[in-house]
Amino acid sequence: MTETTARQRLIVALDLPNAASARGLVASLDGAAGYYKVGLELAMDPGYFDLVAWLREQGHQVFCDLKLHDIPATVGRAVSRLADSGANLLTIHAGQQAMLEAAAEASGAELQVVAVTALTSLDQADLADLGINTPVDELVLRHARRARDAGLDGVVCSGHEVRRVRAALGPQALAVTPGIRPATNAVGDGDQKRVMTPAAAIAAGASHIVVGRPIRDAADPAAAARAIVAEIEQGLAERAA
Ligand SMILES: O=c1ccn([C@@H]2O[C@H](COP(=O)(O)O)[C@@H](O)[C@H]2O)c(=O)[nH]1
C-alpha cells in the first residue's frame, strides 16, 4: 500500500465566492498543497463542476463538501451524478441509515463518501439547543459506527473525537478533521467550537485535516500551507513514536 504523505493529508478549503478566485488561491499556493475542498459557497457558482475538472486536470485531489441530506433515493441519485464529476471525496450528513446505505451503494469505485458526524461549529450547548443531550464524543462515535455499518469510507469529526473514531473504525477508514487552527493561531474564529492544532489532530489519528481561513487569509498562503504540512509531519512522527 502506498504511504499517504504529509502534503496529501492537508485539504485546503477554497471558501471563496467564485471559481475564478478559487483558481487564484490554488495558483498562489504554488504546489504547497495538492488536495482542495470545494464546498457550498463555490457550489453557488455556475462554474463549480468546471472547477472540479480543472483541479483534477492540474493533478490535484478534490473534496466536494456538499453535506447532502435528503431522502435515500434523492441522495443516492445525487451521489451517482457526483461520481461522474471526477471528484475524489464527498460529504453527506449522518442522516438515516437507509440514506447512508444509498450513498455508499451509489458512490462507485472512485468516489469516496464520508459522513459528517457533528459539525465542528457545535458544542454541547448547541446540541442541547437542538434537543440532543448525548455527549458530543458519544454522538460522534455512534454516527461513525453507523457510517461504517452502511459501507461508507469514513467520517468527518473534530480532533477531539478522532482518537476514539480511529479505534472504532480501524486504520483504513477516513477520519477527515476540520476545525484546525495552527499552533500559532490555535483559537477558533468565532464559529468553530471544537478546534485542534494540525499536529495534535494527526497524532490522534486524523487521516486528513481541512484548513480554510488560516491559509486563505494568510499574508503568504503558500508559507502558511507549508508550515501546516510541517506540523502534520510532526504529528505523524508523534503517532509513530
Ligand atoms: O464539521 C465540519 C464540516 C466541515 N467544515 C468545513 O471545513 C472548513 C473549515 O474552514 P476554516 O476556515 O478552517 O474554519 C469550512 O469550509 C467548513 O465548511 C467544518 O468546518 N466543520
**How far away, in angstroms, is 208 Cα from ligand 1 center?**
13
Whether the complex's predicted ipTM surpasses the cut of 0.90 = yes
pTM (2 d.p.): 0.97
Amino acid letter for position 118: A
Q: How many angstroms separate the CA atoms of 125 and 129, rounded?
A: 6
Q: In this predicted model, what pLDDT tens digit does every residue of 56-113 receive, in sequence order?
A: 999 999 999 999 999 999 999 999 999 999 999 999 999 999 999 999 999 999 999 9
Range of the domain at 61: 3-240
Give the count of domains, the chain. Answer: 1
The residues lining ligand 1, judged by C-beta closer than 6 Å to any ligand atom, are 13, 15, 39, 65, 116, 119-120, 156, 178-179, 189, 192, 210-213
Return the CATH number at 129. Answer: 3.20.20.70
pLDDT tens digits, one per residue of 135-145: 999 999 999 99
- Are 100 and 108 in contact by the 8 Å Cβ rule? The answer is no
Contact present, 154 and 114 (Cβ < 8 Å): yes
DSSP 183: G
